[in-house]
Each structure stands twice: as structure tokens, then as C-alpha cells.
Amino acid sequence: MALISDTASTEWVTIFITCAFLIILVVPIYRLLFHPLAALPGPKLAALSSWWQIRKIIAGKPYELAFTTDMVQSMNIIFLMKLNLTDFSAESSASQDKGPWYDMMRYQLIRRSAGPAFTASNLKRFKPKVIEVMQRVCERLHRLNGEEVDTSEWMHIIVLECLTSITWSGSPEDILEQGHNYGDLELNLTFWRRTSVLGHLPTLCVLLDVMPMLRKYVFQILGLPTSYSSQGIGLPAHVGPSLFKQLLHRISSIENPSFENGRDLIEQLLAIHIDKPKFNLDYARGIAGSCVAAGHDTTGSSLVSILCRICASPDLQRRVEQECRGERVPVGFEDRPSTITSACVREAMRLHHVTNISLPRVAPRDGLQLHGYFFPEGTVLGCNPTTFARNTDLFGPDAREFKPERWLSDDEDQIKTMERYSLLFGGQSRSCPGQNLAKLIISSVVPHLFRNFDIHVKVPKGGFDNYPPQFWTMLSGSKIRFVPR
């Protein structure tokens, strides 16, 4: 008996060693020589596994690419074609149950139906709501009496007030009065630092779900924050649940929703639902929730970089103040910036992209021909917004410098090029649906603050490079004082 079992176990060991040997030898040989993408130039390590890219993300340099080519042509092809999202981006933009964004048909139905509510012209009707919020905010900031506070915390509070007011005529309980966001934005930052890396390692994620006790060690090895983070993508961790209750309460109070006279976005979305029942109630509720879920961190961190950049230059700040305090109210996002304030907004958002890893898309059924290479079905393709924003062909040799004047130049063609190749709000085929909402908020908040206060900002040690650009990121650690005028 013992002899038989010894022989059997020796066989198993042999099979195991042979398989391991084949995998270790055959897989790399296949990937380097025979894989359909083997001919692409670039580091061989990048061809062997996704570790090359993951290491770049961990190092805070996701914009350094393995293989660069005619970026402009790539962008046209990748984003003008309606390529499907990858699991990474679908997971990122969806609720935990893979949400409405996961299925392309459903996704298109939702975007088409909800589209009219998110146009710039429709959202303009909610501008009075933002002004009302800013009156409350300014009154509260006056009471701070010039005390030093955390910039990201306050920008987050302001954005949450604006978003909840526009979307369901709500207001996050007490956070403005208390001047405290429970650290929700920083928690999001931690969450995204991890997701930027783990999003590329789906098998590891499954393993960590099965064996959560390994998390701490894996995070340590990968150099990821081990501290508690927000539990998932979406509403801010602490104030989120009460915000969701507010949304449900508002929905139950609407009897005959009207699009034309809708008091807020959720009323308009319910009117769309009545008109087009296929756009069901869950979708309407999901979209309203995602206005806050997808908008609170992105818009908040944009405001942080805008204020920090303007106030880091006394001359620029003086010009912005003059403009904001004059008769003419500068707008943040005209098609072509015409004021120094709007130019600063554009430039700060260009240099401090909210999303910094390639926006991923999947090659379609018949594959894709690009730059003389064939990318088979399922290949993940993408363009990195930050790589574009730092591209000297598009922005000139000073592409890495903060120069708002570049947006005010007389060179129409140059402005059009900078506009056209900006991936700030994503690629055209499925760009950010909330961009007009974010623009409405930013273009109202910035002039209000400079009109009412002398603002003093302390940029954290390490300056503007103190934070690694990952999937979503933010300039954290800066302090601000709002001195009433």
C-alpha cells in the first residue's frame, strides 16, 4: 500500500513540476514572440505582465507609458468609436451590483433618457440654488473670522451643499455649521489609492475577498495605505447614508413631476421616467445618487487645485480679485476663456487632472487596426488624460508650467487644439455626464469666494508635486484662511 501511494505522489509532483515549468517558460515565450501584440515596441516587462504598469501607478507616474505613438490619432480612434468599457471602469462608475452602467444597452438607454437633464442650458435654471448655497457658505465663512482651516475639507463641504441642493433640494446635515466633513474626502483618496492598483489585479481582489486577513500584508507589500478607507465607490462614507435617506424622502414627496418646472434634478428625472417608462424609477434614483457620488470628490478636488494655484501667485490673485470684485462676473467655462479667472480655472484643472490613469476601453468584436498594429477583440486600449495634458506638441514646451495666459492667446487654432485634446472630462464617446453640473458649481463658487474674502492659502510641503497622481487624486494638506473684506 505504502509503495502505491509513494508512486502516486511522485507522479503528482512530476505533473506539478512539468506544469509549472511549462507555465514559467511557455507563457513568457508566447507573450514575447507569438502574442498578437508581441510586435509592439516598449519595455519587455510590460509585454510580460501588467506589473510594469502597476509599478508606475504605485510610483505615482501612471502617465509614463510603455509605448507612445501618434497620441492624437489614437485618441480619435479610441474615444470617437463607441468602444465598450472595461471591467475596471465599469466597476468604477457603477454601484456595487455592477449597476446600470455595466450593460451597454442599458447604459445607452439611461444616458439618452437622462441626457436632457444634464445639458448646460437645462442646468442653468439651477444657478439660483448655487447662489443661495453660496450666500449661506459666505455667511458661515465670515464667522470663521480668518481662522486657518483645511482647504479640501471646506471645498468638499461647499460642493456637497451645492450638489444636494441642485439634485434633491437637500442639504447635508450640519456639516456646514460644524465645518467638518468627517474626513470623507480623505477617505475617498485612500480608497482610490488602493483601487488604482487593485483594479488592475482582479485575481488578487478575489483572493482578498476570500481571505480578508491577508489584506494588511498585501497592502504593505504593494505600498498601499493600510488605514481604513471608504468602503466603496460612491457616496461619502459618513454623510452618505443620511444623504440617501434625504433623496428617498424627496422622491416620495413628488406627486406630479414636471421637467419644465422641476424644482430640482430628481423631479426632472422622475418626469422623464413618467414620459419614458423604460427609464425606470431605479435608474432615476441611481442617476440622482451618482450626481453626488461621482461629483463630490471630483468637483471638490478641482476647487482645491484652482484656489491653491491662484493664491500661490500674488500677482495672479490680485488680477482674479479685481475681476471677481468688478461689475463683470467671470465665468469659468466659456467655450473660449475670456477672463483671467476662467483661464486660471482651465489651467489649474489641466495641470491637476482628477483622473490620471488611462481611461480604458475594450477593442470591439472584429478587433481594431491602429498605427499599423492589429489589436484583437478584448484588448484594453486607452489614453491617459495626464499624458495628454503634459504633451508638448499640444501645449507647447512649457506644458508642465502653470500659465493661464495660454488660454487667452489670440491663436484660435491653438486654443481649439487644447480644447479638443483635453481628456479632463473623458473621451468623447462616453465622456463625463456630470461635466455641466461640475462647471456650473465651479464657475459660481470661485467668483463668490474671491468677491467676498481675501483668501490666503498655504500649499503643503512639497508644493504641487506632493501627491501621487493616481486614478482619482487630490492636492491634500493645504490650509486656507478666508478673511472677510
Query: Cα–Cα distance between 92 and 379 in angstroms, integer?
Result: 19
Q: Edge-to-edge, what's the strand order for the sheet holding 84-85?
A: 84-85, 359-362, 380-383
285 touches ligand HEM by CB under 6 A: no
| Angle of CA points 329, 331, 335, to nearest 5° | 145
Binding segment for ligand HEM (CB under 6 A), chosen from 232-240, 395-403, 431-439, 454-462, is: 431-439
- Interacting positions 142-161 with ligand HEM (CB under 6 A): none
289 touches ligand HEM by CB under 6 A: no
Least distance from C-beta 196 to ligand HEM, angstroms?
14
355 touches ligand HEM by CB under 6 A: yes
Q: In this chain, which of 152, 165, 299, 317 binds ligand HEM, going by CB under 6 A?
A: 299
Alpha-carbon torsion (125, 129, 135, 138), positive or negative: negative
Query: Cα–Cα distance between 276 and 261 in angstroms, integer?
Result: 18
Binding segment for ligand HEM (CB under 6 A), chosen from 22-30, 245-253, 405-413, 432-440, is: 432-440
Q: Which residue is nearest to ligand HEM (CB)?
A: 434
- Interacting positions 389-418 with ligand HEM (CB under 6 A): none
- Is 432 a known ligand-binding residue? yes
Least distance from C-beta 89 to ligand HEM, angstroms?
6
- Element spanning 363, H or E: none
Q: In this chain, which of 134, 160, 270, 291 binds ligand HEM, going by CB under 6 A?
A: 291
Binding segment for ligand HEM (CB under 6 A), chosen from 66-74, 230-238, 330-338, 419-427, is: 419-427
359 touches ligand HEM by CB under 6 A: yes
Of residues 251, 282, 283, 245, the one with CA closest to residue 266 = 251
| Angle of CA points 246, 251, 256, to nearest 5° | 150
Q: In this chain, which of 83, 233, 354, 474 binds ligand HEM, going by CB under 6 A?
A: 354
Contact between residue 459 and residue 312 where contact means Cβ atoms under 8 Å apart: yes
Query: Cα–Cα distance between 262 and 267 in angstroms, integer?
Result: 5
Least distance from C-beta 111 to ligand HEM, angstroms?
7
Query: Cα–Cα distance between 229 and 23 in angstroms, integer?
Result: 37
Question: 74 or 431: whose CB is closer to ligand HEM?
Answer: 431
DSSP letter string, 358-418 = -EEEE--TT-EEETTEEE-TT-EEEE-HHHHHT-HHHH-TTTTS--GGGGG-S-HHHHHHH
433 touches ligand HEM by CB under 6 A: yes
- Interacting positions 61-90 with ligand HEM (CB under 6 A): 89
Query: Cα–Cα distance between 251 and 428 in angstroms, integer?
Result: 32
Query: Cα–Cα distance between 45 and 28 in angstroms, integer?
Result: 10
List residues near ligand HEM by CB under 6 A. 89, 93, 101, 290-291, 294-295, 298-299, 302, 354-355, 359, 424-427, 430-434, 437-438
Binding residues for heme, by number, are 432
